[in-house]
Structure 1
Amino acid sequence: MHPYLIPLLTFAAAAAVFTITPGLDTAMTLRTATTSGWKAGLAAVVGICLGLGIWGLAAAFGLTALLAASETAFTVVKWAGALYLAWLGIGLILRPRTSLGAAEAVPVQADARAAFSRGLLTNLLNPKVGIFYMTFMPQFIPPHVNVKEFSLLLTAIQALLSFSWLALLVVLTVPLGRFLSSATVVRRMDRLTGSIFLAFSLKLALSRRA
């Protein structure tokens, strides 16, 4: 058996548990897919996974050590993320949609781009993701390996798991499309997701580096 196989499988198992645990990424994916369609849902998933990849890349090259070492850097990114989530949440609560976008006449491409940006920014503005990579991944890096290369490999595994799970959630919304396109359901989904975003905003604002 390859000596690195066990650390990789162990990491994949642990990362899978984190991936399927409902959280902000899950809420954003489901809300986007149900209210804007599967294309926008997949765009949000790609943005989320790209954000994970960027944080993983930063961790591999030690950039996120700045967040762990500097209270100021951590606080700046933390509050930027908290304010962004609060802005998204308040917007969904005060201005929920009543259709899948037809009333707003939003082009599909524009809607997909907006979903991609939301997914990307939500992760990039969450310093806890960077801290997670800095504290979680090293536990699975065996001795006598190229740390950067192995870290990038673990990042790729995490991103692949996240993409697979979130994309599956998008696919599962398709059979429910007629029910989910109801004006009442869309409105409630927006307000529920907005409340979740506000909760995560508060959680992020109150978070500490440790």
Structure 2
Amino acid sequence: MFTEIIAAAGVLALLTVVPGPDMAVVTRRAVSSGWRDGLRTVGGITAGLLIWGVLTVAGLAAVLAASAVAYTAVKLLGAAYLVFLGIQALVRSRKGAPPSAAVPGAAADGGSPWRTGLVSNVLNPKIAVFYTGLLPTLTPHSLPSHLGMALLVLLHATLTLVWLGGYVMVLAKARSFFGRPAVRRALDRVTGVVLIGFGLKVATADS
């Protein structure tokens, strides 16, 4: 069983470190509002994974993954939210950083960073497909299916928390650089375009 868990952890770690919408959302919030809000965003993302994990163990995520209508509805909502965040970043880059952005932990973008992370992940139906499609193949054979799935969900959430949390702290070390107005505007534009790109990719992706 230990060998199977190590192998599963390796696969989950590789999937976790691949840049995606989560990293773009965390980058935007950490740079604009400070490391505390960055970590709160990571907490929301992790909570979103746990919610999908509970739904997966309960069998509800499989229903979503199998329903074209439900999948498409969640997919379009998630895509719209990513595009909204991207447009918000582009608008912010044109206006310049508000005074609150200079204060570590200030919510320069408004709203709850934890909620931003949570919503961006809860509205990502790809996680339902990932959990119901891939995790069962990684579950240790010596464990009951629901226990093995729960273990892997907790493992994935932990890896995500550690990886993105460490990424936020790296950004914090370079805060003096990212705090420069020109750099901040450029990063807002880049993350805005990336978020919109991810949103369009999610909207047009096949289930």
TM-score w.r.t. length of structure 2: 0.91
Counterparts of 2:136 and 2:203, CA distance in 1: 26
Q: Which residue of structure 2 aligns with residue 44 of structure 1?
A: 41
Q: Which residue of structure 1 aligns with residue 72 of structure 2?
A: 75
Number of equivalenced pairs: 206
Q: Which residue of structure 2 aligns with residue 136 of structure 1?
A: 134
Change (3 A) 1:101 1:150: farther
- Deviation per CA, 1:159-206: give whole Å up to 9, x if none: 110110111111111221111111111111111111111111111111
Change (3 A) 1:77 1:103: closer
Counterparts of 1:44 and 1:182, CA distance in 2: 22
1:51 Cα deviation from its structure 2 partner: 0.6
Given candidates 4, 11, 15, the residue that maps to 1:14 is 11
Counterparts of 1:107 and 1:13, CA distance in 2: 33
Structure with more of its chain in helix, by fraction = 2
Identity of aligned residues (%): 35
In the TM superposition, what are the counterparts of 1:93-112 in structure 2 within 5 Å? 93-96=90-93, 98-99=96-97, 101-102=99-100, 108=106
CA contact (8 A) 1:99 1:181 kept: no
Counterparts of 1:79 and 1:112, CA distance in 2: 23
Alignment pair present for 1:54 and 2:13: no
1:122 Cα deviation from its structure 2 partner: 0.6
1:61 Cα deviation from its structure 2 partner: 1.3
**Uncovered stretches (5+) of structure 2, i.e. residues with no partner:** none
- Deviation per CA, 1:89-129: give whole Å up to 9, x if none: 11211232633752699983797962111111111001011
CA contact (8 A) 1:81 1:201 kept: yes
| Equivalent position amino acid for 2:139 in 1 | I
1:143 Cα deviation from its structure 2 partner: 3.4
| Equivalent position amino acid for 1:8 in 2 | I
Change (3 A) 1:20 1:81: same
CA contact (8 A) 2:35 2:105 kept: no
| Equivalent position amino acid for 2:171 in 1 | T
Q: Which residue of structure 1 aligns with residue 86 of structure 2?
A: 89
**For 1:164, what is the secondary structure of its paired residue?**
helix
Q: Which residue of structure 1 aligns with residue 168 of structure 2?
A: 170
Change (3 A) 1:199 1:165: same
**For 2:173, what is the secondary structure of its paired residue?**
coil
